[in-house]
Amino acid sequence: MGGVEEVPTGTCREMCPAAELARRRRQRRLHILELGPPEQAVKEYSRPAAGKERPRPEELRPPPVLLATVRHLLGQAARSHPDLSAAEQCAFVADRLRAVRLDLTVQRVSGRPCAAVLERSLVYLLRAGHQLCGEPPARFDAHLHRAQVQECFAALRRAYRDEGDHRIASEPLFQALFLLYNLGSLDALWQILQLPSHIRASPELSTARAINLAYLEHNFARFFRLARELPYLLSCALHPHVAGARRLALLTFSHGFSSRNCRYPLARLTHLLAVDRLEEAEALCQTQGLMMLEGNVIFQKGSFKDSGHLQHRPSCLLVDGKWGETTLQEFTEAICS
C-alpha cells in the first residue's frame, strides 16, 4: 500500500529562485523588465512534464512571497515602458502570473492565502484583456488569455469553497465577475445559483444576474442600460460579450422593426447600444447589411447579413471612461480581500 504523497513547502524568499536566476543570467535571458537589482527578476513559467523531477522546496515560493510577487507585477512591471508595447508587457506579466499559480498548485495552497494571490491576478488579467482586445492575434493571443482567466476563476472559486462558512469579503464581487465573463452560460449561472443565499443577494451578484437575464431574454435596451452603470472591473469582465450582444440586438431589431417605411434614428440606436460614436454605430450597421438613409437606419430582415463574430474593440463609454485617477496597484488593493 503506497504512502501518502508528501506536499512540498516552499522556502524560496525571493521572487526568482537563485538557481534559475543564475542560469538565466548565464544564458542572457533576463527580460527587460527584470534588468537591474536581483530582486527585480521573477520566476518564469515552466510547463510541468511527465517524468520531470518534482520542484525542490528552494525552487518554490511560499504564499507570502507569491503575494509580494503579484504586487510587484501589478506595480513596477505593469507600468508603461518606453521600449515595450502594451502587448509585450502583458505577455511578460501573464507568464509570471502563470508561474505564481503553478507554485500555488504544487504546494496545494488553499483558502485565503490562495484567494489573495488569485484575486489580484484576475484584476490584472481582466483589465489587460480589455486594453489589448483590439490588437492583432500575432501580438495578443486572446484565446490563450481567456484560458488563463478561466483557470484563475476556477482556482479562486475553489479557494472560496475551502473557506466553508468563513466567507471572504470580496467573494461576491469576484463571483459576479465570473458570471459576467461567462455571460449566457447556463452552467456558470447554475454554479452561481448554488452559492449561499447571502452571497447571491449581494448587490454585485444581483446586478450581474440581472444583466445575464436581460441577455438571455434578448432585452437589449435593459442589457445596455445596466452595462452603462457597471463599475470599471465588472465592465472589463462583461466587455468581451458586448460586440456579440450588439449583433444580436441588430438581428432582433431587423425582425421587430422590419418595414419598408420604418426609419430608426441612428443617434438613438447609438445611445441604445452604448456605442462611443455615431460613425462607429453606422459602420456596425453597414457591416450587418443594414441600409442608412439621412441619419436613419432601415431595418429589413431580408437585408440583414449575419457577419458572425464582430471584432472586439475597446470601449470608452462602457469601460475606459470609468477608470479613475489611480494606479493599478492602488485600485487592486482597494477591492481585494
CATH class entry, domain 240-324: mainly alpha
The percentage of the chain sitting over the pLDDT mark of 90, rounded to a whole number, equals 73
The answer to pTM > 0.95 is no
Query: Which cell numbers hold the place of 263?
Result: 426609419
Rounded to whole angstroms, the Cα distance separating 93 from 35 reads 15
What span, in angstroms and rounded, lies between the C-alpha atoms of 88 and 86? 6
Which residues make Cβ contacts (< 8 Å) with residue 321, sequence separation at least 6?
none
Residue 307: per-residue pLDDT: 65
Query: Are residues 172 and 197 in contact, defined by beta-carbon separation less than 8 angstroms?
Result: no
Res 238: pLDDT: 98
Is the pLDDT confidence value at 230 over 60? Answer: yes
pLDDT average, residue stretch 90-113: 96
337 — pLDDT class (breaks 50, 70, 90): low
Q: What is the pLDDT of residue 1?
A: 45
> What is the 3 state secondary structure string of 51-93?
CCCCCCHHHCCCHHHHHHHHHHHHHCCCCCCCCCCHHHHHHHH
Contact 307, 287 (CB under 8 A): yes
Let me know: does 296 contact 263? Beta carbons within 8 Å. yes
Q: State mean pLDDT over 164-174.
A: 89
Per-residue pLDDT tens digits for 110-145: 999 999 999 999 999 999 999 999 999 999 999 999
Q: Enumerate long-range contacts of 150-158, CB under 8 Å, 24 or more apart.
A: 150/181, 151/101, 152/101, 152/118, 152/121, 152/122, 152/125, 153/122, 153/177, 153/178, 153/181, 155/101, 155/104, 155/105, 155/114, 155/118, 156/114, 156/115, 156/118, 156/119, 156/122, 157/191, 158/110
Domain ranges of the chain: 10-47+56-165, 240-324
Residues 279-321 pLDDT 10s: 999 999 888 888 888 899 988 777 777 766 667 788 999 999 9
Span 82-91, average pLDDT: 91
Q: Per DSSP, what are the bridge partners of residue 292?
A: 297
Q: Do the strands 264-265 and 296-298 form a parallel or antiparallel pair, or are they unpaired? A: antiparallel
Identify the pLDDT of residue 308: 61
- Confidence at residue 38, expressed as pLDDT on a 0 to 100 scale: 66
Strand partners, 291: 298
Question: 222: pLDDT confidence band, cut at 50, 70 and 90?
Answer: very high
Alpha-carbon distance of 267 to 58, in angstroms, equals: 62
In the chain the first and final C-alpha atoms are separated, in Å, by 42
Instruction: Assign 4 a pLDDT band (cuts: 50, 70, 90).
Output: low
Lowest mean pLDDT among 37-41, 175-179, 330-334: 37-41
Mean pLDDT value across residues 240-260: 88
Mean pLDDT of the residues in the chain:
91
pLDDT score at 122 = 98
Mean pLDDT for 181-204 is: 96
**For position 109, what pLDDT does the model report?**
95
User: What is the pLDDT confidence band of residue 51, given thresholds at 50, 70 and 90?
Assistant: low
Least confident stretch, 116-125, 236-245, 302-311, 324-333: 302-311
- How large a percentage of the chain has pLDDT more than 70? 95
